[in-house]
Structure 1
Amino acid sequence: MADNSFPGTNPFLKVSSNSSKGDSSPVFQQISEEDEYEVTSPTDATFKSANVGASSGTAYGGNSRDEEATATLDTGIRFGRSPFSQDGDDDNDTFGEAPEPTRPSGLDPGFPSNYALGRRTSVSAESLNPTSAGSDSWTPPNHPKSQEQLSRLRAAVSGNFLFAHLDDDQFKTVLDALVEKPIPAKDIKVITQGDAGDYFYVVEKGSFEIYIHPSGAVQPGPDGMGNKVSTTGPGSSFGELALMYNAPRAATVVSVDPKSTLWALDRITFRRILMDSAFQRRRMYEAFLEEVPLLSSLKPYERSKIADALDAIKYSAGSTIITEGDPGDAFYLLESGEAEAYKEGEEGSVKDYKRGDYFGELALLDDKPRAASVVAKTDVKVARLGRDGFKRLLGPVEKILRRTEYGSRPNTATSTS
């Protein structure tokens, strides 16, 4: 790269009068890396269209002192000659002319000659405020799909940890927002290590190889992608980390098979759905847990921890939520609807459940099989807390939980299982 890293010479640094012989002086530092992905970046199209240069056609000014070596940008900044000189003061002009820039090999013609290829990538993302999500006009995209496509996508995305806590409505929003991205040939770079992340991808068809370079970015040369670390195929996904953490791509992903198919979710939709759903979900569960008598003695931050660990599950009327005799693996809070408990050998239900009631704790406390079956009387929505979360987060109320005992309908116990 040429030593000169900014158009023109430093207007505040004088050079010797023989500057025309080729001697150059230190000039401004290269353009700040933080501008790389901003709208006003020097790599943006607006920079390329700026009127920089004199009639000689050189990048930063003419080579003749008879021609004014001045470049004027939209901002009105003048480069090349002294900002303090007067017209006609050529004899007193001690400011050197900008040297002819040297374009680095391999640099895209759309980039300025002084673009630093090896500099560290900086990523800037839009600011999303979940508290105002419900008051703006943003609408998630909806790309129609066949039932067969939806089935494949649902299977592929369901195993991704980022979507594990989405309810059915939110999960459908994600599937609707995915757009098909055909990959027509092999050896196509889908994402490049070090680049900014724009999409999250789900693989529907084909295989893709993953490469990582120790430097953190792709380098020139045949081995520039680094080492192959993995191969991924249908049902897998990649690209979520860069979108989630606003970080450069951590790997390069290349197609292996011709005619592969990906489904992509853009950055705005990805972050908006996840951030909004996470915020709304926590707020909803915190409000719900405040209404549960069992948890009334907990501090707000303790309820917040429980809220983050809950999974929402829906059951249609008549569905069995837990079965008598099965090992206990979760604790349940009834969010909406009604449910009933049944025990083998007893006629009819032995317990009714409504919003705010809980069940499934006894099997977890004593490591015993379920003492009864619980069936949805209407369409219900339950908040499920797994065994590990139950033992970790509900320690403060364990004594209250152990007070409940199984009994027939006249018994006033809260839980039966």
Structure 2
Amino acid sequence: MSSGSKVNFEQPEEEDDEDMPEDEEFLRRMREKQKYGRRKSVSAEGYDPDKDDEDDDAEERIVNPKSDEQRNRLIAACQKVLLFNRLDKDQFNQVLDAMFEHVCQPGDSVINEGDDGDNFYVIESGNYDVYKVINGDNLKVASYDNKGSFGELALMYNAPRAATVSSVDGGTLWALDRQTYVRIIVRANAKKRRMYEQFLQNVHILQTLEEFERQKVADAMEPKEFEDGEIIIQQGDTKLDYFYFVMEGEVKYVLTDDDDVEKEIKRDTAGGYFGELALIQDKPRAVTVSSVGVTKCGCLDVQAFERLLGPCKEIMKRNVDLYAKELEQVSSKQPAEASSPETSN
């Protein structure tokens, strides 16, 4: 489940919403419980996303030893979990270190409705059914088929389990303890969200967005780090996957002409952005963009770009003629004029 999306208890991401019970009232009650009288637990203090970094670093980091084979399987399972997309490399490795293997037998109950939340679970293999007591009947409300994750709601809201999850045919899960989940997933993501919001306030094209719209953009952004000289966008590539904001570091734009001669067009630093031209025009990438030194970018996938940046597209489209002029100048070996942070691939 991606950060910023509506939280649905024990819900597989691809499940049909019509088959899922309503949970808005449940979430409202959980928020009220947190506000007026949170249930006490050994981890209750861990829910403050504003806790100082020094205190965060002082917390014990849990490490469960794994073989290389186990870690490789774990990485493969976790790469499918959208909840982890906003973690940086160090945070992701801490999560991997803390997770432990949980083998299920057919019929095992992994979590039980009403119990305290102890772990978050990532499915490596197996089928799992989700049950909830509704009007006195224990009803099946969802199922997982060899992928997905569950158990986050009780950890996020320090609340009882909202449903029961049982193994159908046995399988393998990877579990993450409450302490690590809160310290990294909840708190670190909250800090990263605020950082993104502050950054986006200073991006010129986003000045047309309302504050709540920028918040949605911040929720949808994924971090990506690139080493020195790493190609981020390749000229001619037809795979139009991401739109990029430069958050730290520097990128350079290089055009390769018909004679395979490479010509640098410009460079961008923090506050610049690129990748929108190909998405707007639905054409191959116009230039190659690579990192200069270690560079960190915030990225929006194509769907998020289309959904969230609609109000900014008119401004972006105005730059199309400028892009064409820059490319024409470079191709004709005329020096391109210095460009603003708005000009990009």
| TM value normalised by structure 2 | 0.70
- Deviation of 1:141 after TM superposition, in Å, equals 1.3
Cα shift readout 1:281-321 (whole Å, capped 9, x = no counterpart)? 11211232234344356554443332222111112223221
Distance in 2 (CA, whole Å) between partners of 1:411 and 1:344 is: 18
1:325: which partner in 2? 236
Q: Is 1:304 matched with 2:215? A: yes
Please give the secondary structure, in 2, of the residue aligned with 1:336: strand
Give the gaps of 5 or more residues in structure 2.
1-37
The structure with the greater share of residues assigned to strand is 2
- Deviation of 1:156 after TM superposition, in Å, equals 0.8
Give matches, 1:13-24, under 5 Å: none
1:411: which partner in 2? 337
- Deviation of 1:157 after TM superposition, in Å, equals 1.5
1:171: which partner in 2? 92
Cα shift readout 1:73-104 (whole Å, capped 9, x = no counterpart)? xxxxxxxxxxxxxxxxxxxxxxxxxxxxxxxx
Distance in 1 (CA, whole Å) between partners of 2:286 and 2:98 is: 43
Distance in 2 (CA, whole Å) between partners of 1:228 and 1:356 is: 45
Distance in 2 (CA, whole Å) between partners of 1:209 and 1:160 is: 17
Distance in 1 (CA, whole Å) between partners of 2:144 and 2:190 is: 34
Which structure is richer in relative contact order (CA contacts within 8 A, separation 6 or more)? 2
Amino acid of the structure 2 residue aligned with 1:188: D
Q: Is 1:144 matched with 2:56? A: no
Distance in 1 (CA, whole Å) between partners of 2:124 and 2:301 is: 31
Cα shift readout 1:250-300 (whole Å, capped 9, x = no counterpart)? 12313634xx65432122322232221221111211232234344356554
Give matches, 1:230-241, under 5 Å: 230=143, 232-233=145-146, 236-241=148-153
- Deviation of 1:178 after TM superposition, in Å, equals 0.9
Q: Is 1:193 matched with 2:113? A: yes
Residues 216, 196 of structure 1: CA spacing in aligned structure 2 closer, same or farther, 3 A cutoff? Answer: farther
Match of 1:286 among 178, 184, 197: 197
Amino acid of the structure 2 residue aligned with 1:248: R
Identity %: 38
Please give the secondary structure, in 1, of the residue aligned with 2:264: coil
2:13: which partner in 1? none
* Contact in 1 for aligned 2:273/2:344 (Cα 8 Å): no
1:340: which partner in 2? 252
1:381: which partner in 2? 296
Amino acid of the structure 1 residue aligned with 2:225: K
Please give the secondary structure, in 1, of the residue aligned with 2:97: helix
1:132: which partner in 2? 51
Please give the secondary structure, in 2, of the residue aligned with 1:343: strand
Distance in 2 (CA, whole Å) between partners of 1:204 and 1:284 is: 32
Q: How many residues align?
A: 285
Match of 1:398 among 310, 313, 316: 313
* Contact in 2 for aligned 1:193/1:216 (Cα 8 Å): no
- Deviation of 1:135 after TM superposition, in Å, equals 4.7
RMSD: 3.1
Residues 145, 339 of structure 1: CA spacing in aligned structure 2 closer, same or farther, 3 A cutoff? Answer: same
The structure with the greater share of residues assigned to helix is 2
- Deviation of 1:153 after TM superposition, in Å, equals 1.0
Please give the secondary structure, in 2, of the residue aligned with 1:132: coil
Residues 176, 216 of structure 1: CA spacing in aligned structure 2 closer, same or farther, 3 A cutoff? Answer: farther
1:248: which partner in 2? 161
* Contact in 2 for aligned 1:191/1:254 (Cα 8 Å): no
* Contact in 2 for aligned 1:189/1:255 (Cα 8 Å): no
1:370: which partner in 2? 285
Give the gaps of 5 or more residues in structure 1.
1-121, 220-224
| TM value normalised by structure 1 | 0.59
Amino acid of the structure 1 residue aligned with 2:337: N
Cα shift readout 1:144-197 (whole Å, capped 9, x = no counterpart)? 3233322211111221232232222221121111123455x5543332234332
Please give the secondary structure, in 2, of the residue aligned with 1:171: helix
Q: Is 1:272 matched with 2:183? A: yes
Give matches, 1:197-212, under 5 Å: 197-204=117-124, 207-210=126-129, 212=131
* Contact in 2 for aligned 1:196/1:249 (Cα 8 Å): no
* Contact in 1 for aligned 2:243/2:305 (Cα 8 Å): yes
* Contact in 1 for aligned 2:121/2:151 (Cα 8 Å): yes
Find the structure with the greater CA-based Rg.
Answer: 1
* Contact in 2 for aligned 1:193/1:249 (Cα 8 Å): yes
Q: Is 1:355 matched with 2:270? A: yes
- Deviation of 1:378 after TM superposition, in Å, equals 2.3
Distance in 2 (CA, whole Å) between partners of 1:192 and 1:272 is: 24
Cα shift readout 1:339-387 (whole Å, capped 9, x = no counterpart)? 2212221533122222221111222223332211212232221111223
Residues 296, 200 of structure 1: CA spacing in aligned structure 2 closer, same or farther, 3 A cutoff? Answer: same
* Contact in 2 for aligned 1:342/1:350 (Cα 8 Å): yes
Match of 2:227 among 297, 316, 321: 316
